[in-house]
Amino acid sequence: MQTTSLIIHVIAASILFGPQVLMFYAVTPATWMLGNEEVRRSVVKVVTGRFGRLTVIALVVLLVTGLYQYFSIVPEHIRENPQAYRFGTIFTAKMGGFATILVLITVHVFVFGRRIARLSDAVIAGDETQRPALETARSQSFLFSLILLLVTMGTLALGVTLGDESFSYVQK
């Protein structure tokens, strides 16, 4: 069961990370070529909706399998005093990264996503004076996505480091 949990955990991590790379590198830049704001908005809405559902599922699976692994794989003596081992520092950083990912996703959806939707609606309704603000919001969202991508990559690296018992289970 431990190996199965680890496999599922890694798959969930790749489901979280892979689409972020795809969205940042390919999908978002591809939408820049769509001249019609209504079509662009529809495409982005479909893609981000599906991406969002995948993200929620991946985050829940990561949380469940991560808790299972902590209590079933990590030796009891390390769980009792994790800060005496490299494990404690790495684990704390990884959980900080996971929490940061949750915050960044929430900010991206509720701040940038809503701002872009509001401005896009205005442009679709014919208010071209909102187009510069819309493009600024999209640029800010794109840069924010890069931050999210980098935090996710760092958190993945910490997870791999945790999995290396010859490194993480060493006493400080």
Give the pLDDT band of residue 172 (cuts 50, 70, 90): confident
- Tell me the mean pLDDT in the region 97-120: 96
End-to-end CA distance of the chain: 30
Give the pLDDT band of residue 1 (cuts 50, 70, 90): confident
Cα separation, 65 vs 172, in Å, equals 27
Residue 143 has a pLDDT of: 96
Average pLDDT, the chain: 95
In the 8-state DSSP scheme, what is residue 85?
A: B
- Tell me the mean pLDDT in the region 73-102: 96
